[in-house]
Structure formats: structure tokens, C-alpha cells
Structure 1
Amino acid sequence: MTTVSDGGRVVRPGGSTATEVTWRLKLPPESTTTLGTTLTTATSREPLTAPTCAFASDGRQPYDCASATWTAPGTATTQSQESTGWRRQAPALLAAGVALLVLGLVGLLTWRHRRRPVAAALASDGPGTIYPRPATPRPPARRRKPPVWVVVPVAATVLAGTVGAAAWSATRRVAAIDTDSQPTSGAWKGTGVSGVLGMPLREDAFEFTVYRMTCEPGRGARQCQATVGVRNLTREHQSWHGKLQRAYLANGNWVTTDESATRRVNQGRDVFADPVAAGSRVVLPLVFTINGREAPQRLELRSGVFSAGVRVDVP
């Protein structure tokens, strides 16, 4: 960072390795002001995203936020995605393969049992005749069925294969939506998207943008607050839940949203009680309570239990 407009201070928020510029302003009604700063990066080939927020005087309640990404000429901005299509198709492919194998076995056995030898001879001075000629007409031959000892094991195999494939698929899906499992490790609706602070990230129903992450100093139980923008990109109201929003530490442990603390910082309003209106956008703080001095390294946010969600690295 090289220059900051008048009144700005370069600070490092608690628990973060990043720096930010803050201004304290008093604006008369219907007035505007312009603030500016110049940023420098280690490499000009990497996209640079700079989020900006306007907070209340306490610095906790956001009025609104925005972000901009600067990309050097000739450099494309990319987002990592985790395709989950193969996870969805694996159980169906397994069941189909077992069914085809069993059907092929049944067809082979049926074909072999239906074969009958026929003896025929041609007369030397007349049309062909069947030899020996039956004395009386034979009753119509009954169609032979596979023996019971073949049908029962085949049916049991088909049933076991179908049940096993369904159970395997259900187990993986339950693990994906369980609130005690990794959110993006097995969810099958949408794709998992990763990004950084200030980058809008789209998942199944919402577009999430994390603008800021700060933590209280200390060693015991302390609170970390994330300023998050949520935009509903669907045509229907969408509900979301605090237990699905997680903060991950460097050791892999995670905590969900502290809903009571989040309600307090939102002036007593439960932000998860009412659904997000179709096409609307909200900016609000989410609070995570952690133990120890370690700060969260990543946030995972999701609109619902079936969504793969988004992951945001927080410095």
C-alpha cells in the first residue's frame, strides 16, 4: 500500500494477517465524499480483489459492502470448482452393471435348457419326413421354465445388488448433508466453488461474498465476526440455517455460527428466521465462537443441506 487519502488509517484487524484502511466519517444528509488508496501487489499477473464496507460507528454493523477485482491485461480470472457429477452417477452405474450381469446369466441358462436334439432323415424317393414317424400326434410342447434352483438365487442376487447400491448411495448422501460432516465433500446439488475475500461466489441458490473477517484478541473463548453478503438469485424465497455456516481452523476443526451472538450483533434480529426474498440481497455479520488463539482459515457457506456451497479463504 503506497498512498491513502486524508484521514485514512492503515490497520491490521484482530486475528488477521491482512491490512485494511479505515476512515471515520460524518456525512451530512444527501452528501457524498470520495475516498481513495493505492494498492501494490507482489505480482501483477494475479487478480486483485478489494472489498469495501460502510459500518456503523461501532465498526460491527455493516450498512452496505461492495468489491472490485482488478485483473492485469491478458490474465483471466478463474474459480476452482469441484464437480460432483461422478458422485451422483456412481450408484446408478453400479446397480446397472450388476443388473446386466445377472440378466446375462439368466439368459444363458435359459438358452441352454431350451435346446433339444432333433433327429431327421430324408427319404430317397420322396419328400423329407421326420424319422421315426410318431404313431400318434404329440401334445403341444410346454415351454420349459428355468428351474427353481436357478430363479431363486438370481432373484436374491438382483435384490441384494439393488438394495446394496441404494444403501451405499444413501449412506454417502447422508454423510454429505450431516451437520457433523464436511459440507462440500459429498453434496450432490451444484458445484463447490472457492474464492477469496470480496469475491462473489455462486452456489445452488445464493451468491455469497465475504467482505471481512475479524477476531477478538485473547486465548480462551473468543468471537470472530464475518461480514457476509447474501444474494438470492432464484425466483423463490430461500431459507438458510446457521448450523450450515462454518468456520474452519488450520487443524481441520470447525465451528458453526453462534446464533445467539449473531442475533445480538444484528440488534436482536434472527437473520436465519426469515427466508431471503427472491432477487434480494442482504449484508450482515455472522459470529463464530472459537477457543484458543488460532483464527479461522476458511469459511464454508451454504444455502441448504443439499448444496455443495462455497469456500472462502480468510487471511
Structure 2
Amino acid sequence: MMPIIRCGASLVFLINLSSAAIADCLPQNFLLEERMELISDHSIRLAFIESMSQSQFDNAKKKFSGGASFPINGIPINGYSNLESAKAAGRSEASARGFTLDQSGSTHLIANRLSESGANAYIACLKEQGPGISLWVANATGNRFQVAVLFRPGDSNLQVRPFGLDNFKMISKLDKEFVPSTQQNLMFVRKSDGEGSIEIVIGKYRQSLIFPKRERLREVQESTHFSENVAQAATGGKNQPYGPKTVTACTTPPSPDWNFIPGTEGIIVLNSTTNVNSWTIVQPVSVDKLCWSVTARTGRKGDRHEITAKASVRMQRSVK
């Protein structure tokens, strides 16, 4: 006969998400397989970038290779050759937008949004995590959250301990009989935009959900910056040396609130007398400085070789 867990009349609640469940059912993997459309949400996109592994980065580049939109700081994800540069660009955009969640908070945010969206494979994974408690956000509207609870006992200890609530209030009543292997949905109200958590303990099993603080992201304005100064080099001709000559010039954002977007820089050649002249971006490019060099090479005696070039780069700033 199936055991029945009888719940006491007085319960207190707390919330916190099990690291074991997350490790077995990584929400980032299911996000790409089941709910790619959530990437259009800036918070989810930045959370994925902050928490993504090498394999998830590689998978995202494959998933979004057909023209689907996954920008990182204004550049498509396929424009990044390695995980480190993609994460650095993501953190630059996160700073501009006011997104501050770390890797752990980002993972919890993705997990809650994923289950809330009805990602069936992800929810099935949570349900299959062996004996214990499965807990996930089944639905959310504003500050009201429906949390699904599924208990699969592995022994005869069926004692329901007090729940713990942080920044949440339970507004539904528990069933008088908590039947194992039967899903029960509980309703909660979030008190504020701060962090919150819900923890359930039955017997020796403990499971929790963590809700990162809500962040209202800033909009970002983008524009293209063209340098006013130029790099100009010349060799040969009257009163000019015959050896190769390299000249470097630099530019900075027009005001402190603008940041350059590394990876979007380019050189505009205004004048070049021969095709042996060359130009290059000086690395690294930072958010507040871009430098470029031009080189004029020696030709026949008396020939004048000259090159002049300016730079362009995309830039962004927060719109308050």
C-alpha cells in the first residue's frame, strides 16, 4: 500500500535550489534544446553567457549558425573564436545593461524560467532524479508563483519538517494527505524583488529553489565612432627617408559614458599610393581606447609611397 505523509497544521517556509539537481539537469543544456526563443530576453541571454561552459558555447554557435539571433555585445556569437573572449564581451554588455548576477545566480534564473515555460524534457529530468524531492516553478504571473512538489521516498522516514520561506509567503493550503509520487502544486507570493528561497524537507531529503534578485535592465544605445585623427606614413620622394616607416594613431570615445565594443573595429584607408603599403589594428582593443598603425614601404629611389588611414568602431552606452 502506498504510504501517506500527513502534514502538520503549522508550517514555516524557506527556499533554496539543490546544486545536485542542477548538476544532473543543467538548465543551460535544456535551454538550447527546448527553449531557444528565451535567448531573446536580455536577462536570460546574459545569464547564459555568464554561466556557459565550453561545450555550451560550442553548441550555441552551432544552434545559432543559421542566422538566428544571439548577439554578445553587439556581435553574433559566431563572431567569437573562443569562450574567454565571448564571456569578456558578455560581461561588458552586462555592465552596460546593469546585469549583475554571477554564475550561480544566472543558473538559477535560467532554471526557473525554463520550468515556468513548460520545458517538458527539463521537467522530466527533475522528476527522474532518484529518491527524494523534485521541486520546480510550474507557473509564474507577476509576484505569484506556482511551485510543483514531487516526493519519491527511499525509506520509511516520511516526516515533513517545517518549510522555510525567505521573501515569500505561501497562500495555498497543503493537502491533508501528501501522497508520495503524486505532484502537489503550492502557491506563493513574492514579497519584493530581492533574493528569495523555498526549502522543503521530508525525512532525510531536502530540496530547495533559489530566486535571484530581479534586475530591471537598462536599454543600451549603440552608434559608430569615426576617429577624427588619422595615421599617416610616407617614404621616399623629396626630403623623405627610403626605409619603411610605421605611424600609430589612437582614438578614444567622445565622452566617458560611451564604451567601444571590442571586435567591431575597422580601418578606413583614405589614401594609399601603392598596394605594398599596409595597415593593422593594434591589439588589445579596450572599451576606452583604439589604436591602429599604417606602414609605408620603400620603393624606387625618388618614388613617394604614402598611406593615410582613420579608424571606426561600434560603441554603446546605457540609456538611463
TM-score when normalising by structure 1: 0.22
TM-score when normalising by structure 2: 0.22
Higher strand share: 2
